[in-house]
Amino acid sequence: MVSRVIPVDPFDLVVFGATGDLAQRKILPALFRRYCAGQIPKGTRIIGAARTAYSTEGFHQALSENLTQVLAADSYDPEELAGFLQILSYIPIDGNGEAGWPELNRRLSGAAPDRVRVFYFSVGPGLFGPLAERLHSYGLTNGATRIVVEKPFGHDLASARALNRILASHFEEGQIYRIDHYLGKETVQNLMAVRFGNMLFEPLWNSQYVDHIQITVAETVGVAGREDYYDRSGAMRDMMQNHLMQLLCLIAMEPPAKFDPDAVRDEKLKVIRALDPVEPYHIVRGQYNAAPGRAGATCDGGEDLNYRETVQDQRSSTESYIALKAHISNWRWAGTPFYLRTGKRLKARSSVINVLFKDAPHSIFGEEAGRHANHLKIRLQPNEGITLSVTIKEPGPGGMRLMDVPLDMSFAEALGPKGVDPADAYERLIMDVVRGNQTLFMRGDEVEAAWAWTDPIIAGWQARGDVPKPYEGGSTGPGDADLLMRRDNREWRGINP
């Protein structure tokens, strides 16, 4: 199997916040990999823009040093890097002032009026408005202009609406690309292929056959380096409201009429609007402590063994872990619970969706054969792939004994060493912006609907004065999360690497 590179016409792309962590760690390396793959054509212009007073040569040197840390040394050669740097320049710019904008206007001048022009806002939401205003006041936009905005898309419903109004005052909805890197993962996109491309699954994808669904996004890192942001947000705002919500939508949505951006997003919006309010006893919040026997040590993400010490607030009630039970009130999913959980400083980095099917209504093999049910496991990271557990006879002459065996497809193994090299999510999403494909990006009404569901949950625990349950770093989370499942005679599928 060979990965196809879909060509695009030459384009202009300006990365605001080009010296920041996200741009250096994800955006610029993604563009470089697309250049190495032959997808960025000659004539393309990429411009880094930030407050840092770099020259273009100084920016090149800093980026070259960074790429050696981010990318494997054998994944590119020096000639490719030299070619990429030729199309990359840098402009010191003030997002809140006027410095640098005339120079940006000059750099972008002379292009055809229909040339695609992408402005990537790799900055805090507070700069979205000033940047948008200056793009228009300096005449930097055209009919093919697109802007890319990173999360957080607001802090609550009111701020999300205000942010959407700011963007809408300068750009059409079709020009705004709200990026969620989870939607660019290969396996996340395969959710739609598995569901809607296989007759095997879609007829069974409903409450009649599915017992329940679990969505887990577990991280081993703590909050070091993001203390200020995270302590104002917590796991609910940082992960549940966007990443896990999007996974839930893709799992639960109805088949769209066609694979079209608005058709797909219309169906996702219906899922969010069909979500029931979550009862307080269906919510578990946690906050990590030091791992046993590791006091004073460091771990993934830095010296953040204790959440409150990391954020320097011994009274912080911000959750680093949340689990909840959700219901979708529509014909397809009525009565089928969805269990969602995400947390920091857990035992393994693992993002997985588990679809647990119901037992067969009647077993012809007797009680000694046990109870067996099919289980579809979709691994998003690491080791992206899909596993389907099926029931077979246990080998041997000892009678009819049943056992479950996995039908496992790991992408790396199935495609082989000469197969498709799975692109980073940012590579795919950035090129979708250039092509004008919004399928994997969130629409404004979708963001607002997610906050409309989230806000009452947060307001509820604040009004009750709920305090997160402590859990040990390196564990699977607070014990109350296990009780949440046991009350329904179910259990979490393990957080495994």
Active site residues: 243
User: Which is it for the CA torsion 190, 191, 197, 198, positive or negative?
Assistant: positive
Radius of gyration of the CA atoms of the chain, in A:
24
Euclidean distance between CA atoms 269 and 443, whole angstroms = 9
Helix (H, G, I), strand (E, B) or coil at 389: strand
Euclidean distance between CA atoms 320 and 124, whole angstroms = 22
Q: Exposed (0-12), middle (13-18) or buried (19+): which is 74, by Cβ within 10 Å?
A: exposed
Name the phi and psi angles at 9, rounded to 5. Answer: -75, 160
Euclidean distance between CA atoms 415 and 406, whole angstroms = 18
The contacts of residue 445 (CB under 8 Å, 6+ apart) are: 269
Q: Is the separation of the CB atoms in 242 and 420 below 8 Å?
A: no
What one-character-per-residue DSSP string does 441-475 give?
SB-HHHHHHHHHHHHHHHHHHHHHT--PEEEETTB
Q: Is the separation of the CB atoms in 264 and 315 below 8 Å?
A: no
Give the strands of the sheet with 283-289, arranged side by side: 402-410, 385-393, 375-381, 350-357, 210-218, 338-343, 321-326, 283-289, 469-472
What one-character-per-residue DSSP string does 35-98 give?
HHTT-S-TT-EEEEEESS---HHHHHHHHHHHHHHHS-GGGS-HHHHHHHHHTEEEEE--TTSS
Helix (H, G, I), strand (E, B) or coil at 408: strand
> Token pair 């193994």 is at which residue?
413
Strands 88-92 and 117-121: unpaired
Residue 126 one-letter amino acid:
G
Residue 271: closest CA among 70, 450, 84: 450
Question: Prior bond to 152 cis, omega within 30?
Answer: yes
